[in-house]
Structure 1
């Protein structure tokens, strides 16, 4: 992806990703651990949550210059998913609990006001 994405497009994707991912890395980490906790025990913190959720968490902890092609692909997917399921203004919206939790697994809490 880096071969076919200009620095301007990369900057725009970075900004858009951080606009739609409205949870901090700590909040996302906590949510992923909570979401995957079971009566039998909970997963190790670095393994909690979905693969995509863990990847979003890793991206949140990176500097823009350290992004890989895979990071850019995941960022685009997160932006596309949130954009497809939310209004453009990202105003707080209540919905089905499973819908909210699914979006929270990729760092977007639909009940949180836009920054």
Structure 2
């Protein structure tokens, strides 16, 4: 299997996992809820931006680029996003998830579980 096939599959899985549009994701990343969740390099109190929040900004960039502009590093990040969304979806809590840190974390990674 060539890299091209691999990248094609990665792109397809990424666009299935990420169900928020760039503008939607951008607006979400500006919210307090978005900034309250996620793991921070250097620990919780380390301040700065969470890994998911940083990923969200990168996802916006990926969504706005043309496919032929994507690099190997971009595809690597896409695979990371797909893996995160799949793992996190498997841990869905019971009940209404609308105002949960579980949903907010997923939204930082470009996936709103209420849309699916």
Question: Structure 2 length normalisation: TM-score?
Answer: 0.72
CA distance in 1 between partners of 2:2 and 2:67 (Å):
14
Q: Give the alignment's Cα RMSD to 1 decimal.
A: 2.5
CA distance in 1 between partners of 2:9 and 2:89 (Å):
19
Paired positions, count: 95
Give ranges in structure 1 of 5+ residues lacking alignment. Answer: 38-46, 88-92
Quick one: which of 18, 21, 33 aligns to 1:24?
21
Q: Which runs of 4+ in 1 moved over 4 A?
A: none
Quick one: which of 100, 108, 111 aligns to 1:105?
108
Question: Structure 1 length normalisation: TM-score?
Answer: 0.72
> Cα deviation per residue 1:39-73 (whole Å; 9 max; x = unaligned)?
xxxxxxxx9x8221111110010111111222111
Give ranges in structure 2 of 5+ residues lacking alignment. Answer: 37-48
